[in-house]
């Protein structure tokens, strides 16, 4: 566009065309083509900013079954990415379900909205479009499948009515969300990005669900292959995920982008000593060495390891107290197991609002991250580990692979063999008797998060992938 005086106008009005906008960006005092007077530079800079906002923003549709007020990493990730993208000037829409995870209970205040089947709100700087699903608890396989399938179908239909985006992202878990995203992409001829947060069906085999040769596994493998083949880009959370897709699924490397999990360091920051002391009093943990597990209690986490360590320490270190905070498919069984073993040093709390989680972390002397000892979990980077590090608390990590590399690089905790309760008990006692070591590990962990894993940083890396895709 040229920026010039409009001869048909009585005043100082301007006609705009692209060449002069580009010139105004490149020449600070004069436009080579249009001879813009220095007095008009302010107007030109405003035009440049308007042009950049108008033509460089990306219209994103992010399809995720989970979104706040639901708790957990998938919901938080969707909201935080939406917040940072919209803050950067992008137009973000989220297609999600009604809150019910993991209990299957829809909050009472959401009943009227669920009965209307669809609902629209503004949250995290984005347009959030909610669509009906079948609320069921995350306990039994058939309940999960009905819940997943209902959202898959509902989102595939609801998405057709939404404003047209430039790119569609579908995120797992769960895998069927990818089918919804692909269908919307195919129907509307829009680039499709498949965000892989769990490897399917490998994750099922890792927790002992079904036989690898079963129809369930074969079906999920077929769906995964279908989505890998049709996504213009596949976004994964670790280099190990990328390696698995290249070697096991023959996905071309150029179609895979690695965008690690991130954390909001302003939210997940150390609480003040006074707040910490008050909260420990409320938890009846004064004089105790508080070891916390905060997060989902599912099949993947091997929480029997924690109970075995608790049984050992109940005799040798009675001032150690274990606190398990959250919900999940295994919670009831783990509670019953702790009660049957008379573990008076183990306490359970229900799911907490996300904004209160940093206070529980800060009140802890050490935080535990556990997964079962299988190869597929060597590829993951648990978000809870990053949140613990961001709150400057030492981490005891029972996970091999990528997560262990990060923890050891940051020198922010103690890594142990997965499912080794004796090693867990030993690590707890090491930290219990060394306050300076705990402080050093905690501070190193927070520094590492600030430098490498802030959500703002990972959101910026992600948007560059989307910008490159939409410009091709």
What are the sequence ranges of the domains in the chain?
A: 4-55, 57-262+457-471, 273-453
- Per-residue pLDDT, 122: 98
> Considering the chain, what is the average pLDDT of its residues?
88
- What pTM value is reported for the model? 0.84
Q: Which residue has the tokens 């948007």?
A: 463
Mean pLDDT of the region 112-136: 97
* pLDDT at 433 > cutoff 90: yes
Question: pLDDT-based confidence at 283, cuts 50/70/90?
Answer: very high
- What tens digit of pLDDT does each residue of 326-360 get? 999 899 999 999 999 999 999 999 999 999 999 99
Same CATH fold assignment for domains 57-262+457-471 and 273-453: yes
- Per-residue pLDDT, 53: 45
* pLDDT at 32 > cutoff 50: no
Q: Which CATH architecture has domain 273-453?
A: 3-Layer(aba) Sandwich (3.40)
How far does CA 194 lie from the centroid of its chain? 14
CATH of domain 57-262+457-471: 3.40.50.2000
**Spatial CB neighbours of 282, under 8 Å, sequence gap ≥ 6:** none
Exposure string of 261-290, with b = 16+ CB inside 10 Å and e = fewer, is bbbbbebbbbbeeeebeebbeebebeebbb
User: Lowest-pLDDT range, 86-90, 202-206, 356-360?
Assistant: 202-206
How far does CA 373 lie from the centroid of its chain? 23
Mean pLDDT of the region 383-408: 97
- What tens digit of pLDDT does each residue of 178-191 get? 999 999 999 999 99
């Amino acid at each position: 566009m040229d920026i010039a005086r409009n001869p048909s106008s009585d005043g100082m009005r301007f006609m705009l065309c692209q060449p002069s906008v580009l010139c105004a960006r490149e020449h600070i005092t004069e436009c080579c083509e249009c001879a813009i007077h220095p007095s008009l530079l302010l107007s030109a800079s405003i035009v440049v900013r308007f042009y950049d906002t108008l033509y460089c923003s990306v219209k994103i549709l992010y399809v995720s079954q989970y979104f706040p007020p639901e708790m957990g990493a998938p919901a938080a990730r969707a909201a935080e990415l939406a917040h940072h993208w919209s803050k950067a000037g992008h137009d973000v829409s989220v297609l999600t379900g009604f809150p019910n995870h993991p209990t299957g209970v829809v909050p009472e205040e959401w009943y009227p909205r669920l009965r209307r089947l669809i609902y629209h709100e503004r949250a995290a700087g984005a347009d959030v479009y909610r669509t009906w699903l079948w609320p069921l608890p995350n306990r039994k396989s058939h309940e999960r499948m009905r819940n997943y399938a209902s959202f898959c179908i509902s989102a595939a239909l609801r998405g057709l009515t939404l404003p047209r985006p430039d790119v569609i992202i579908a995120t797992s878990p769960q895998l069927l969300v990818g089918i919804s995203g692909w269908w919307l992409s195919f129907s509307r001829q829009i680039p499709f990005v498949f965000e892989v947060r769990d490897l399917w069906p490998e994750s099922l085999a890792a927790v002992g669900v079904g036989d690898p040769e079963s129809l369930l596994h074969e079906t999920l493998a077929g769906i995964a292959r279908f989505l890998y083949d049709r996504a213009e880009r596949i976004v994964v959370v670790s280099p190990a995920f990328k390696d698995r897709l290249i070697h096991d699924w023959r996905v071309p490397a150029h179609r895979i982008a690695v965008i690690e999990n991130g954390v909001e360091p302003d939210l997940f920051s150390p609480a003040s000593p006074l707040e910490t002391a008050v909260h420990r009093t409320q938890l009846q943990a004064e004089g105790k060495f508080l070891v916390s597990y905060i997060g989902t209690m599912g099949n993947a986490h091997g929480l029997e390891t924690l109970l075995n360590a608790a049984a050992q320490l109940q005799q040798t270190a009675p001032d150690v107290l274990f606190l398990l905070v959250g919900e999940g498919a295994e919670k009831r069984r783990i509670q019953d197991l702790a009660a049957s073993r008379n573990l008076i040093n183990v306490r359970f709390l229900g799911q907490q609002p996300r904004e209160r989680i940093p206070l529980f972390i800060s009140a802890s002397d050490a935080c535990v991250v556990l997964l079962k000892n299988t190869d597929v979990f060597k590829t993951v980077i648990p978000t809870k580990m990053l949140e613990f590090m961001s709150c400057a608390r030492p981490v005891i990590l029972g996970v091999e692979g990528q997560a262990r590399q990060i923890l050891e690089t940051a020198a922010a905790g103690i890594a142990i063999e997965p499912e080794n309760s004796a090693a867990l008990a030993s690590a707890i006692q090491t930290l219990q008797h060394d306050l300076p070591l705990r402080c050093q590990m905690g501070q190193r962990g927070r520094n590492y998060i600030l430098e490498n894993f802030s959500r703002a940083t990972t959101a910026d890396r992600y948007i560059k992938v989307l910008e490159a895709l939409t410009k091709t």
